[in-house]
Amino acid sequence: MKALACALPHESGLPLSRWSCHDIASEAVGRGIVASISGATVWRWLSADAIRPWRYRSWIFPRDPEFQEKAGRVLDLYQGCWEGEPLGPDDYVISADEKTSIQARSRKHATLPSAPGKPIRVEHEYARKGALAYLAAWDVRQAKLFGRCDAATGIKPFDRLVAQVMGQEPYCSASRVFWIIDNGSSHRGARCVRRLREAWPTIIPVHLPVHASWLNQVEIYFSIMQRKVLTPNDFRSLTAVASRILRFQERYEQIAEPFEWKFTRDDLARVMAKLSTTPIPLARAA
């Protein structure tokens, strides 16, 4: 029964994308595994081993052949070293990215506050008042935050963020400033590295491998901001969106501490070893 639950339904010729307990019970009877069984009994057996085939989550397998090495360099920076040597007191680590297409949704009825026995009530219908992008840079070791709102993402907006950070102390006179960035079009590849180094010689861009934004610490801040500032979304204008984002940024920085990052190269090696034993159908890997 457990083996059946851990196989995909289409492998049994069934027109199903995932199992329910009733489906498993029916299939087991049809195969002659048991004479009769209820869905509740199937649930009880599977629950004992935490098998839940009716649930699923999206997954992206690493495609970069150098995924482990590229990710490892970033994890080393989080541990305070670079190329096997400890970072110095005049070295800084910046995690940067963009949060795109933040909408201003003006609700057709005013949002109502909480009341006894009632949550905040937000009108379902809204008028779109445009969208903007928020670009942020997080000093990993100092817990300092820099951000700006722009009409859209792109090379120029990203370069303005870089200038915002690098144009002030201690970064403008630092020995090295490591910028951890993903492979978005604003800061992709060798051309980006040349552009940043020409403008700011002490910058060392460190690109994440593809599909590794979860290793970028600024994404943690974005998730906090999403929960506390943008959900629920009820803004009369883009000016109101930008104002609240930047005011929250200022408020958050007053209490910010470095994130307690525990994922290391050893953890990454274990994950990669586990993935290497997982068969990946060619159609799914494409």
Q: What is the pLDDT of residue 285?
A: 36
The neighbouring-strand residues paired with 105 are 128
Work out whether the CA dihedral 75, 80, 84, 89 comes out positive or negative: positive
In the three-class reduction of DSSP (H, G, I as helix; E, B as strand; rest coil), residue 149 is classed as strand
State the DSSP string of 80-148.
TEETTEEPPTTEEEEEEEEEEEEEEEEESSPPBPPBTTB--B--S-EEEEEEEEEEEEEETTTTEEEEE
| pLDDT, tens digit (0-9, with 9 covering 90-100), for 140-165 | 999 999 999 999 999 999 999 999 99
| pLDDT, tens digit (0-9, with 9 covering 90-100), for 28-66 | 999 999 999 999 999 999 999 999 999 998 878 888 889
The CA distance from 136 to 145, in Å, is 7
The neighbouring-strand residues paired with 218 are none
Identify the CATH homologous superfamily for domain 67-112+123-265.
Ribonuclease H-like superfamily/Ribonuclease H (3.30.420.10)
Q: Residue 269's pLDDT band (boundaries 50, 70, 90)?
A: very high
pLDDT over 70 percentage in the chain: 97
Contacts of 259 (CB under 8 A, 6+ apart): 140, 217, 220
Cβ atoms of residues 11 and 59 within 8 Å: no
Phi then psi dihedrals of residue 177, to 5 deg: -130, 110
Average pLDDT over residues 75-79: 97
Q: Is the pTM of this model over 0.75?
A: yes
Phi then psi dihedrals of residue 273, to 5 deg: -65, -40
Amino acid at 271: V
Q: What is the pLDDT of residue 16?
A: 95
Q: Where are the domains of the chain?
A: 2-48, 67-112+123-265
The one-character DSSP state at 281 is -
Average pLDDT over residues 128-132: 97
| pLDDT, tens digit (0-9, with 9 covering 90-100), for 164-218 | 999 999 999 999 999 999 999 999 999 999 999 999 999 999 999 998 999 999 9
pLDDT reading at 281 higher than 70: no
Contacts of 249 (CB under 8 A, 6+ apart): 136, 145, 147, 225
